[in-house]
């Protein structure tokens, strides 16, 4: 959702951003020996050096570079200068540059750019001599082309298959290699079948059609496989499919596709075919699961057991039964699911508890088992964990790791990468700052990672600290993951709109992770991610000045308009937050449509029924985040209020 500063525009933005960013970065102790004034001057000089380099004033650049020899970002000046002439760098110099930038992400990016330039210039021997295995299709194809040109033709061609068997089209750099490989007769039917399977399973029908040209003996069954994907009704003629592995695979694929529109008919066909043909166990489970899910979606009897389908298939069937309020069937399916996931612990416990009176009459201890499941779910700090705690009438658990626990250790003085990360943030180069973080997170223990996240949080890079705590699997650093920036603004507008302060924080936390510069793909802007059109409507409603798009990056403007929009929705939906948050994310017209014919439905089931996964996850997250903020503020509100337990 957020956008980092592009490298080419870094210099232009550095001076504009420095006053704000420097004040943020200087608000904490500097981890090395530089004074605050020294550091400020170095940041300004760095900005000047970048501008000089982009303007090709190399003499000025060299002078500034010499001044900044001890600055943590000195390697980035080396990288920027070398990147301008990467195609002309000789191997010896590249080796020296790489050595001097060891452990710095920009150094490896420079090396890969240089290596790519060698291939593009036809310097194949140089490419081959310096290539290192990397998960990049273009680089791998260049390597095999270089290997082929070196005389090791068979060795190169032997390794092409893994690149060609892909569910998507490969880069154009691979085309010359594929041409040679194909002309050498290396595409056999098994290879073509593997790629056809990958393409059809990925929904790449056009690529699948292209692959058909490479078949020889299996041409007929390959065309039938493709036809079963595009016209699955042909599965009614099972005699067209050979009784061998490929014929069975094509038939099974068509049955799963056919079941989406004709679930009952497909179930009848499968009932016959599965006894007449030698399908392997995995195929049987996949087909049975697909047909069971299609029938569940159509409101038909599932007529399958969890043991007959894959675990993922069982999850999908269970969820559909919950959405349709088919509680007894859902109880059977949730009971069979792995209970490490609090979602299924919650639903199984909830359903078992609701149905306990019936089960208890049979004397099977269902109520006790239900409470055990809910107790296990309630240990989690999550949407389902909080619902489970409310169901049991116990307090929700935060499982918080306090700052003093995370803050012990040796500090960051001996971590140059952490210093570079903070400085890159301070000068507005967020792209490279994120790259430093991505490299750093895999090399430190939890204690030192927590220290780095603390520093990111303290200098104001809040959204990245939030994301980083999750990426580093440190979810219990709640002071980092659930910060409260702009406190005066949020509190004032919570008061004026009569909304809970935790609600405004929760919406902003989900929408932008408190990045006031955030812009979504759809064009929503700022802390509370307001679309410009929505912001103008709200402004008219409250008789405020018409905001420009740039105004929406101002925290004061954005929070004022966002909080008033939420207040309007709270009034419109009588304070039912599930409906409010669905409307905030997907629009009032969709929230209205989804609630039709849902009157009296349990809210948790209605949320599971929301057709957009993004909105479904959004509503769950904001409800959970508001609960976390409220608990951290010392209050203990219910996860769902009494008037929110059912859809009105």
Report the alpha-carbon distance of residue 11 to residue 45 in Å, rounded: 11
β partners of residue 94: none
Residue 281: Cβ-neighbour burial (10 angstroms; 0-12, 13-18, 19+): exposed
Yes or no: say if 622 and 510 are a contact pair by the CB < 8 Å rule. yes
Asked whether the beta carbons of 277 and 248 are under 8 A apart, the reply is yes
Q: What does the alpha-carbon distance between residue 557 and residue 548 come to, in Å, rounded to a whole number?
A: 10
The number of residues in the chain equals 648
Distance between CA atoms of residues 320 and 330, nearest Å:
8
Secondary element (H or E) of residue 150: none
Tokens linked to 381: 């700090």
Give the distance, in angstroms, between the CA of residue 476 and the centroid of all CA atoms in the same chain. 20
- CA–CA separation, 549 vs 530, rounded Å? 10
**Per-residue b/e over 283-305, b at no fewer than 16 CB within 10 Å?**
bbbbbbbbbbbbbbbeeeebebe
Burial of 463-483, coded b for 16+ CB within 10 Å and e otherwise, reads bbbbbbbeebebebbbbbbbb
Element (H, E) at 525: none
User: Residues 6 or more apart from 489 whose CB is under 8 A from it?
Assistant: 555, 556, 559
C-alpha to C-alpha distance for 353 and 368, rounded to whole angstroms: 8
CA 60, chain centre distance (Å)? 43
d(CA 363, CA 356): 10
Kindly name the residue from 423, 436, 454, 511 that is annotated as catalytic: 511
Phi, psi of 415 (to 5 degrees): -115, 85
Torsion of CA 30, 34, 36, 39, to 10 degrees: -110
Residue 279: alpha-carbon gap to chain centroid: 36
Question: Distance between CA 224 and CA 254 in Å, rounded?
Answer: 10
Note the Cα 149 to chain centre separation in Å: 40
Could you tell me how many helices (H) and strands (E) the chain has, helices first? 37, 0
Rounded to whole angstroms, the Cα distance separating 418 from 408 reads 16
Task: Tell me if residue 511 is catalytic.
Answer: yes
Dmax over Cα atoms in the chain, in whole Å?
90
In angstroms, the CA 225 to CA 552 distance is 52
Asked if residue 9 lies in contact with residue 429, where contact means CB atoms within 8 angstroms, the answer is: no
Check residue 494 and give left, alpha or beta (phi > 0: left; psi -120 to 50: alpha).
alpha
Any bridge partners for residue 525, and if so which? 519, 530
The closest of 55, 20, 65 to 40, measured between CA atoms, is 20
CA distance 613 to 473: 24
Q: Is 519 helix (H, G, I), strand (E, B) or coil?
A: strand
Q: Tell me the catalytic residues.
A: 511
């Amino acid at each position: 959702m957020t956008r980092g500063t592009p490298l080419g525009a870094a210099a232009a933005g550095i001076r504009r951003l420095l006053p704000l960013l420097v004040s943020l970065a200087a608000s904490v102790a500097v981890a090395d020996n530089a004074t605050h004034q020294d550091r400020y001057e170095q940041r300004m000089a760095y900005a000047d050096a970048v501008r000089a380099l982009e303007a090709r004033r190399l003499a000025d650049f060299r002078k500034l570079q010499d001044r900044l020899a001890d600055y943590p970002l000195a390697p980035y000046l080396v990288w920027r200068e070398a990147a301008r002439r990467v195609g002309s760098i000789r191997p010896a110099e590249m080796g020296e540059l790489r050595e001097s930038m060891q452990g710095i992400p920009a150094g490896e990016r420079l090396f890969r750019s240089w290596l790519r330039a060698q291939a593009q210039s036809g310097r194949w021997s140089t490419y081959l001599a310096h290539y290192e295995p990397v998960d990049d299709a273009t680089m791998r194809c260049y390597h095999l082309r270089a290997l082929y040109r070196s005389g090791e033709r068979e060795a190169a061609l032997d390794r092409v298959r893994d690149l060609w068997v892909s569910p998507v089209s490969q880069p154009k750099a691979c085309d010359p290699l594929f041409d040679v490989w194909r002309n050498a007769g290396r595409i056999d039917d098994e290879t073509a079948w593997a790629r056809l399977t990958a393409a059809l399973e990925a929904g790449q029908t056009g690529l699948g059609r292209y692959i058909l040209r490479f078949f020889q003996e299996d041409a007929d069954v390959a065309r039938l496989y493709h036809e079963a994907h595009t016209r699955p009704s042909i599965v009614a003629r099972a005699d067209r499919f050979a009784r061998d592995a490929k014929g069975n695979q094509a038939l099974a694929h068509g049955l799963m596709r056919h079941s989406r529109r004709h679930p009952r008919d497909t179930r009848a066909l499968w009932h016959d075919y599965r006894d007449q043909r030698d399908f392997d166990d995995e195929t049987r489970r996949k087909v049975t699961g697909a047909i069971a899910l299609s029938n569940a979606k159509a409101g038909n009897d599932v007529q399958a057991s969890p043991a007959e389908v894959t675990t993922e298939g069982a999850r999908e069937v269970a969820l559909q039964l919950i959405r349709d309020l088919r509680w007894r069937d859902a109880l059977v399916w949730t009971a069979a699911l792995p209970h490490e996931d609090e979602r299924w612990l919650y639903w199984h416990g909830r359903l078992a508890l609701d149905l306990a009176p019936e089960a208890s009459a049979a004397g099977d201890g269902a109520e006790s088992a239900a409470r055990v499941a809910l107790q296990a779910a309630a240990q989690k700090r999550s949407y389902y964990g909080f619902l489970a705690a409310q169901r049991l009438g116990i307090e929700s658990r935060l499982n918080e790791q306090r700052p003093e626990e995370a803050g012990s250790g040796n500090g960051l003085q001996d971590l140059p990468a952490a210093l570079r990360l903070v400085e890159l943030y301070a000068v507005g180069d967020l792209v490279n700052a994120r790259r430093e973080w991505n490299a750093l997170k895999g090399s430190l223990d939890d204690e030192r990672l927590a220290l780095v996240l603390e520093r990111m949080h303290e200098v104001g890079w809040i959204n990245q600290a939030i994301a980083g705590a999750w990426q580093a699997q440190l979810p219990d650093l709640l002071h980092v993951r659930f910060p409260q920036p702009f406190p005066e603004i949020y509190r004032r507008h919570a008061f004026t709109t009569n909304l809970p302060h935790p609600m405004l924080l929760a919406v902003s936390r989900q929408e932008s992770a408190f990045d006031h510069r955030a812009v979504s793909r759809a064009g929503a802007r700022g802390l509370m991610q307001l679309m410009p059109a929505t912001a103008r409507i709200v402004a008219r409603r409250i008789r405020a000045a018409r905001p420009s798009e740039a105004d929406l990056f101002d925290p004061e403007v954005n929070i004022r308009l966002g909080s008033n929009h939420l207040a309007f929705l709270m009034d419109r939906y009588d304070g039912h937050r599930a409906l409010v948050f669905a409307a905030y994310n997907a629009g009032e017209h969709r929230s209205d449509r989804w609630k039709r014919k849902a009157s009296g439905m349990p809210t948790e089931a209605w949320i599971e029924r929301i057709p957009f996964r993004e909105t479904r996850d959004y509503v769950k997250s904001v409800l959970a985040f508001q609960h976390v903020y409220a608990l951290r503020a010392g209050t203990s509100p219910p996860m769902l209020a009494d008037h929110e337990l059912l859809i009105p």
